[in-house]
Amino acid sequence: MSDANSASLYVVATPIGNLEDLSPRAARLLGEVALIAAEDTRHTGRLLRHLGLSVPLLSLHEHNEAARVEQLDARLVAGESIALVSDAGTPLISDPGFVLVRELRARGRRIVPVPGACALVAALSAAGLPTDRFTFQGFLPAKGGGRRARLEALAAREETLVFYESPHRIRDTLADLATVVGKRRLVLARELTKAFETFLDGSADELLARMEADPDQARGEFVVMVAGAAPREEEEASVVEGEALLAALLAEGVGVKQAAAVAARVLGGGKKAWYARAQALKGAG
């Protein structure tokens, strides 16, 4: 029934696209547990049919997770092992399961990870961006103001930034990234492990242009990866260079807004920051 004598909650990673990515251990455990707690029982039901398994399913999603704790704990206490799965990838990583795992661990229950597919790790492994340090932010706020505020709070961080994004918001997110991080390098991983898996590489403006030219590139689920900010010494040198550029443009009669746009395009960084510097230079001049 399990890897050990005691009843366990197995946190099982499932494929994010390619069904061959399900590990033999995960497949075995899904067939051995007494119950599978699934984000969407219909979705998991299709996976079980593919595996030739018939196991009772119980829905567990963000709206009912807290209410399921007592029910699932009672099954564990009765000696029945349970698998926790999300629709795709590793549970709890921008998916339900945190409340359940936290509460069961607090009660001393046995929680066993069963590793496997995870979109953010898969994307980072093939993106060519630094992976020694990264910050994962899950999904950004859906509304523009909240999204830009979150990006501005993260813009100065030097490690790679990683987000998940949906197809109906990807263009808005890229537009906000263009404003906040300028020409910094981005990599978009789209439809990972599926037939149309694609990695797109460039600045936010360049990636937006590619989507305008080929709307199919805006389809599917995305992992958005952003190169970290330059180290402080490089940033300070860029500021000195940028202020010289702004001063020259202002001296030629270029407007503050236009000068800021040129600095962002040439040197990277957010237009807002360059605009503030251009305003300060104009005031001092």
The per-residue DSSP string of the chain comes to --SSSS-EEEEE-B-SS-GGGS-HHHHHHHHHSSEEEES-HHHHHHHHHHHT----EEE--TTTHHHHHHHHHHHHHTT--EEEE-SSBSTTSSSS-HHHHHHHHHTT-EEEEE----HHHHHHHHH-S--SSEEEEEEPPSSHHHHHHHHHHHTT--SEEEEEE-TTTHHHHHHHHHHHHTT--EEEEESTTSTT-EEEEE-HHHHHHHHHH-GGGG-S-EEEEEPPPPPHHHHHHHHHHHHHHHHHHHHTT--HHHHHHHHHHHH-S-HHHHHHHHHHHHHH-
pLDDT of 285: 62
Provide the CATH number for the domain formed by 8-117 in this structure: 3.40.1010.10
- Residue 1, pLDDT score: 41
Residue 4 has pLDDT above 50, yes or no: no
Query: Does residue 3 surpass a pLDDT of 50?
Result: no
Residues 51 and 83: their CA atoms lie apart, in Å, by 15
- CA distances (Å), origin 3, targets 129, 145, 250: 37, 48, 70
Convert the pLDDT of each residue in 231-267 to its tens digit: 865 556 567 788 888 888 888 888 888 888 888 878 7
What pLDDT was estimated at residue 2?
40
pLDDT digits (tens, 9 = 90+) for 196-241: 999 999 999 999 999 999 999 999 999 999 999 988 655 565 677 8
Task: Name beta bridge partners: 188.
Answer: 200, 224
Q: 78-82, 95-99, 281-285 — which is least confidently predicted? A: 281-285
* Average pLDDT over every residue of 32-37: 98
Nearest of 140, 201, 200, 204 to residue 174 by alpha carbon: 204
| CB atoms inside a 10 Å sphere around CB 175 | 16
Q: What is the pTM of this model?
A: 0.79
**CA angle at residue 243 from 249 to 230, to 5 degrees?**
130
Q: Output the CA torsion sign for 66, 72, 74, 77.
A: negative
Q: Which CATH superfamily is domain 120-226 in?
A: Tetrapyrrole methylase, C-terminal domain (3.30.950.10)
pLDDT in tens, 153-194: 999 999 999 999 999 999 999 999 999 999 999 999 999 999
Q: How confident is the model over 97-119, as pLDDT tens digits?
A: 999 999 999 999 999 999 999 99
Domain range summary for the chain, segments of one domain joined by +: 8-117, 120-226, 232-284
